[in-house]
Amino acid sequence: MAGESAAAFLNVEGLTIRFGGLTAVGGLDMAVAKGSIHALIGPNGAGKSTTFNCISRFYTPSAGRITYDGRDITRMPAREMAGLGIARSFQNLELFGELTVFENVLIGAHVHAGRSWRDAISARPRGIVEHVDELLERTGLTSYAQTKARNLDFGHQKMVEIARALAIRPKLLLLDEPAAGLRNREIAALDRLLCELRERDGLTILLVEHVMQLVMSISDRITVLSFGTKIAEGTAAEVRAHPAVIEAYLGREAAQEAAHG
Amino acid sequence: MAVFALPPFPDLSIGPDMDLQLALIFLQQGIASGLVSGSVYALLALAIVVIFKTSDVPNFAQGEVFMAAGYVALYLFVFQKMPIWVVLPATLVVAFLAMALFRRFVLDQVAKSAKDLVYLVIATLGLSYVLKGLVRRTGFGDTPRSFPALVPTDSIMIGQASVTMLDLAIFGTAVTVMAAFFWMFNYTKTGRAMRAVGMNPKAAQLVGVDLRRCHMLIWGLSGVISAIAALLISPKILMTADMGSIVMLAFAAAIVGGFSSLPGAVVGGFVIGIVENMVGLFISSRAIVLAPFLAILIVLVLRPQGLFGGKLTIKKV
Amino acid sequence: MSSPPLASSAPVRRALSGPALIGLVAAVVVTVALPVFTSGYVVYIANLLLVFVVLCLGLHIVIGETGQFSMAHAAFYGIGIYASALANRAVDLPYPVAMLFGALVAGAVGLVIGALALRMRDIYLALATFAFGEAMQWVFANWDSVTNGPNGLRISPARFGPIEILSDKQAYPFVLFFCLVMIGLTVAISRSRLGRSFRAVRESEVAAMAMGIDVRRARIVSFGLSAAIAGFAGGMFGLFQTFIHPDSLGFQTTILVLTMVVVGGLGSIAGAIGGAIVFGLISEVLRQAPQYQEIIYGAILILFMMYAPRGLFAFIGDRIREARHGR
């Protein structure tokens, strides 16, 4: 346990979040290894998004500790996450709707655009514009660079969220239901992109997701939450066979059936 | 602007040597005058808040609706020599129609083409200019006039405060109107529909509320309440086309009350009325003008949700 | 494929195409030649319009870029007028120093207001800034020892070294120059990292936060900058005016500026400039018909909000496009 924590890139210990009298997450431990894709799954209301928002520092936990790259980030303000190399996307899309796709992604590079005085006053800071163009290329958005984000279809908007997060040049990418609402073709593209980010860019990715097709295909490790507590953790195969997981998702009967049958 | 706050002892120098006895008299007078003026501010604040609750628009023309209604009454009564029992209902009907039609034909169109608050606000500012311009155009506003008092203005003493019969009539009418409004809003079918629209317009529409009609009704009623405020106050003041600026006190009252709470608006109205009179009596009549703005600033900075508003909500992501 | 240059100033680029370009060239010719062939009155109006252009740029920063509803710009403008006039009187330095002083004082007050307004949104922000504006007007009218109260303050002539400005025609090149500088500055701010952070805050505060933008600082800074530009406009006013009265620094002026920005098209610099000129001219013409002034003014506001909320130029652009596509 201690060894695992030390090796973990992102480490969550005893995370507890209460809203009023309601405990949304109770004593969650989770370790995300560097360079892995880690999925956080569970039925509706399991506390996934709450955990996610705690790690990205939009919520502050009632108890527990979050460390990232050996650093305690439990009490740091959300706006400092980008500077540390933690990027996030939003479940319900929080795009800069009236701005172009290009500008959306350029704003993602905010923390890098102020390195020098010249960069800070430039509309097209050097080194950054090239990176933005590259990200648009990789996410298939090049031809929409000058389109207002609000005028894109849903699938492309989700890609803008990811491109914008990548412009932070993150070491840890937090994705909140990136595949929700996407069509099969788009999910396949997302699958390829995330794997490429892990293999080529060495990115660590934590995603909250409902789309099992994506989760099972790309995740190195999966943590399953139910009613605010961890009920299982392991590889896709381990989790899929875990009786508690089957019960949480399909009910008690199905779990028994799976056990006997 | 400080229409009621005529200090009863204007020549007394008020300084550190002011004795306790005098301070007590001032205090009583301030509260009595404050409750009277406050009841009118409360009416106007109610008119503002009922619109804001249901349309999310602060109606910056509320003061001019109030002013124009006063002039309609003045015109019918003084210039057309109509009997008072015709003048009063006629004024209320005109105010109702003007506001309902503005909502229906102007704001519905604005809301259709623009979602942002600033556009709706500017449209109401436009209405305020139009109304002011119309009244000036008639020329009635050139000489300041007063609406003849319908109730004797003899003074009576309550405790050590001097009030007139007219003051008591104003206070009584305002409280009655507010009570009637609250009854309507809370216990009638129409009131329930209005509350539903305020909480969730889409859901209200789904359960069969005619949104357009409901909005017209609310704006119309808000106009009626403003007109009543105008009828109550106009015997006490010199009417001019700029008398609508009194609405600032009502905005201050609404903000003190949380801006979306109807009881808050009423309490805020009385608070502002009393504070205004106290400032006039204890500090200086020059500072009266400043009082509502300071009240707005202080309340918003310390408690942006007002004294009666709920907790600030955190956006879910 | 790489994005075309000027990616972040698309509105400016759009405004510079086709008929707009011809209009711009004509405008430049008229602007430069103005004092040569017109009367002092026309030049006075031109000076005033240029001041309003700068005021609109100031309001654009806070409302157009950052999406914060300010109704206090007449106050910042007034602070700039009084501060630069008093500085000019107190010390014998070239007038631009006094202008900068006016901008700084207004900017500092703007920072404070921005900080106080941090927790407020929309209508609350509008009402708080409105109340501040009215309170400031009261201060102008009642702080007798500094502003000379309701009698108004005489502004001594601006001097640039040996040159003393005594007429509107003399002032015009300076007013025009400073206006152009402010346009340049606003475009630079808008295109910079700072401007992008303003727009990010306008579009989504939570996303801006996730991108590492300090939302609170962006809101305060935008208020400060916006107020400083309005204060600078106050200094420009002192270039050609000899007198300031608190009556002209009230809600009416704030509404005039707000209307200009909205009529031009909220969110675009070209719109703010165009709105200032077009609506400035309209309201000047309306002064010739005082009986109808308010009615027509109000009707214009209402009609614009009803049928052209995206602004005059977007409205004309849409009509031209419709005509071209044959409908």
A165 and A189 inside one domain: no
Structural domain harbouring A97: 93-169
Residues A77 and A122 grouped into a single domain: no
Three-state secondary-structure class, residue A10: strand
* Mean pLDDT calculated for residue range B190-201: 87
Residues in chain C within 8 Å Cβ distance of A54: none
Place of tokens 């997701």: A209
Q: Give the pLDDT score at C4.
A: 39
Looking at A169, A204, A219, the residue that finishes a domain is A169
Q: Same structural domain for residues A140 and A190?
A: no
- CB-nearest partner of B136 from C205, C255, C294: C294
Q: Domain for residue B11, yes or no?
A: no
Contact assignment for C215 to A110 by CB distance below 8 Å: no
Nearest to C132 by CA among C216, C57, C74, C65: C74
Which residue in chain C has the smallest CA separation from A163? C211
Residue A251 identity: G
Does residue B182 lie within any of the structural domains?
Answer: yes
| Both tokens assigned to C161 | 């070294």
Q: Which chain C positions have a beta carbon within 8 Å of B113's beta carbon?
A: 306-307, 309
Nearest-Cα distance to chain A for B285, in Å, is 48
Same domain? A158 vs A185: no
User: Which residues in B lie closer than 8 A to residue A97 (C-beta atoms)?
Assistant: none
The pairing of beta strand A37-41 with beta strand A204-208 = parallel
Tell the residue number behind the tokens 């892995």, with chain if given. Answer: A36
The Cα A55–Cα A57 span in angstroms is: 5
Cβ separation C298–B312 shorter than 8 A: no
Weakly modelled stretches of chain A, pLDDT under 70: 1-7, 252-261
Residue-level pLDDT at B315: 46
User: Is B238 within a domain?
Assistant: yes
Residue B314: both structure tokens together: 């955190």
Do A50 and A78 belong together in one domain? yes
A170 touches chain C (CB under 8 A): no
Please give the residue of chain B at the shortest CA–CA distance from A53.
B317
User: Is the same domain home to A78 and A1?
Assistant: yes
Q: Give the A window 80-109 contacts with B, CB below 8 Å.
A: 90-92, 94
> In the 8-state DSSP scheme, what is residue A46?
S
Q: Structure pTM?
A: 0.87
> Are residue A27 and residue A74 in the same domain, yes or no?
yes
- The reported pLDDT for the residue numbered A73 is 93
| Domain harbouring A210, CATH code | 3.40.50.300
Which of B104, B122, B317 to substitute to test the interface with C, most C CBs within 10 Å?
B122
User: How far from C107 is each of B146, C64, C114, CA to CA, in Å?
Assistant: 45, 18, 10
Number of domains in chain A: 2
Q: What is the DSSP letter of A171?
A: S
pLDDT tops 80 at residue B304 = no
A34 and A157 housed in the same domain: no
C211 at the B interface (CB within 8 A)?
A: no
Q: How far is B317 from chain A (nearest CA, A)?
A: 7
End residue of a domain, out of A118, A140, A169: A169
Distance of CA C264 to the CA centre of its chain: 12
Inter-residue contact A40 to A225 (CB < 8 Å): yes
> C27-75, pLDDT tens digit by residue?
778 877 777 777 888 899 999 999 999 999 999 999 999 999 888 999 9
For residue B131, what are its two tokens?
């109304």
Q: Are both A160 and A100 inside the same structural domain?
A: yes
**Residue-wise pLDDT tens digits, C82-96:** 999 999 988 888 899
* Enclosing domain of residue B126: 40-249
Q: Is C63 exposed, middle or buried (0-12, 13-18, 19+ CB in 10 A)?
A: buried
Domain boundary (A128, A149, A169) is at A169
- The token duo for A140 is 């298939």
Q: What pLDDT is recorded for position C229?
A: 98
More confident residue, A8 or B64: B64
Kindly state whether residues A185 and A175 are assigned to the same domain.
yes
The model's pLDDT over C211-257, given as tens digits with 9 standing for 90+, comes to 999 999 999 999 999 999 999 999 999 999 989 999 889 888 998 99
A72 & A143 share domain: no
Same domain, A178 and A238: yes
The interface predicted TM-score of the complex, written ipTM, equals 0.89
Whole-number pLDDT of residue A219:
94
What residues have CB less than 8 Å from B182, skipping those under 6 apart? Answer: B262, B263
Is B48 domain-assigned? yes
Instruction: Calculate what percentage of chain C has a pLDDT beyond 70.
Output: 94
